[in-house]
A and B are shown apart, each in its own frame.
Chain A
């Protein structure tokens, strides 16, 4: 099995750095490319628009959110592309994954908030159920 095209979902948390490490290892095995996905939900949209004066600043701030993951990817010399998407994290990642041809999707098992994970069921759970390609959930 070759992992030429890998989706990596990140919310900018420290935990998502661990997922990034696993995605990098997979990519290195087959000289694959990583598509780094960061999803902006409605409440984040509202907050960002309120706090930054224009869309360029907003874009910069969001790019900065995943900068630690990006640094890691550059350090490890893996080819990658960043996608900033809008919507509810779960369904948005699923839609993006199924509209492209990925060999594997890598997601973290924990979000920013433990309570939310417990009650709602995590984003990773939804993604694992509905994404058509193999999913690696990093614990």
Chain B
């Protein structure tokens, strides 16, 4: 136990410290930009990233994973902030944390397996599209200078890594663009025009809201959507880090950790956040894989803001928009677009439905719900195919129907349609259920109906090959209806 803790914290000090610094530098522009998306001061996102990264370092379930303020969460908050303001967002953040803790305590991480892959692909694609479209408003009424600066930002971001790999290129782009704007005295909108930056450590505050049922009614739907989306992205990220480092992690512990981190963020003036796929990949690639990397990232981020806050407000929006366009491109799953025509049609439909729902409603949780529902329908349709083969025995006196498939409410009609009650007059009919499974009362009902029809013609019906579970179900339900 002690040796495991030591390994998780100090097994890779050099790699973790260096990677943590790289991640902190990459986190700052994102935390600011996500705050602006949510419609709040940049400090709210920065405090969130600080609190969440530090708390997760101690109690998260996946060492080496980076959490903070994220686009997925910011996008869910826009209407709450616009209608009710920051205090309600902080309260919703705390409630989100509480829901996530419950999720972890009741070991519900396994529910993730009911979210099909095509829904997760739709989720990241929709997220990428929303992050991109959220930047369009910064271009409103701007002239060519804005476009040129965004272009320059993107050029630096994508070309620099070809030569220098140790420094995150988005940070270099921001420094270059900010310097160009300051020294050449170009008049463009900056972070300072959109919100305030206080060079202070976060302090403990209880959100200033009336503690009544009405408040709960306002924040609960938001908190529920935030907790689901947060856990979805966090557990997906945990799986990616698991795979990259070839190790295992405790998903329920991670759910609880995300919860405690959000509760802390809410009380210290931060917005709800979750694990970040992009930052976690950067962390592992830069050599980070222990708990120390997340702690260093959080602490160094706060240090930079306190030391350099005055410069941060002078970052032009053009540079941030460029970084967000990069985040969007990096988030989008391009292989799904390339291989769309090769995917099974149902998978493609589920993915596109998820994306379409999110883009239409601007709510990732609704997209996930729509995707899961549609894939459940497709799944039911797929397994409701029942095959019946006929075999005549005993000198044409007996008919054997071999049934293959799942008998349940969606498949019984298809099943009965395949049996020809008019054909011949059998003395005996045998239903061979060796390769079938009875699931519900519709299945029993269908067998009762079949029995009744044959018995009208004086045919005796018998069953063979019922498996244990099906037999139990048939006795339980069939026993009630067979009063004759």
Contact = CB atoms under 8 A, between A and B. Distances in A.
Interface stretch (B17-25, B72-80, B243-251): B243-251
Interface string A36-63: 0000101101111111111100100000
B44 interface: no
Main secondary structure on B side of the interface with A = helix
Given A42-B284, A88-B285, A49 B333 contact: no
Given A51-B117, A53-B113, A53-B116, A86 B244 contact: yes
A1 interface: no
B477 to A, nearest CB: 33
A42 B162 contact: no
A55 B281 CA distance: 18
Interface in A102-120: 119-120
Contacts, number: 46
Contact of A50 (B120, B162, B246): B120
A58 B113 CA distance: 15
Question: Which of B117, B120, B121, B277 has the most C-beta atoms of chain A within 10 angstroms of its own C-beta?
Answer: B117
Interface in B83-141: 113, 116-117, 120-121, 124
B442 interface: no
B3 interface: no
Interface in B29-84: none
B335 interface: yes
A22 B324 CA distance: 46
Interface string B191-207: 00000000000000000
A53 B336 CA distance: 15
Contact of B245 (A43, A48, A86): A86
A86 B244 CA distance: 6
A53 B117 contact: yes
Nearest to A52: B117
B243 A47 contact: no
21 contacts: A40-B243, A40-B244, A42-B244, A42-B281, A42-B284, A42-B285, A46-B281, A47-B333, A47-B335, A49-B239, A49-B240, A49-B243, A50-B120, A50-B236, A50-B333, A51-B117, A51-B121, A54-B113, A55-B243, A86-B246, A119-B162
Nearest to B118: A51
Question: Which of B243, B284, B333, B335 has the most C-beta atoms of chain A within 10 angstroms of its own C-beta?
Answer: B243
Given A46-B240, A86-B243, 6 more contacts: A40-B244, A42-B281, A45-B240, A50-B120, A53-B116, A88-B285
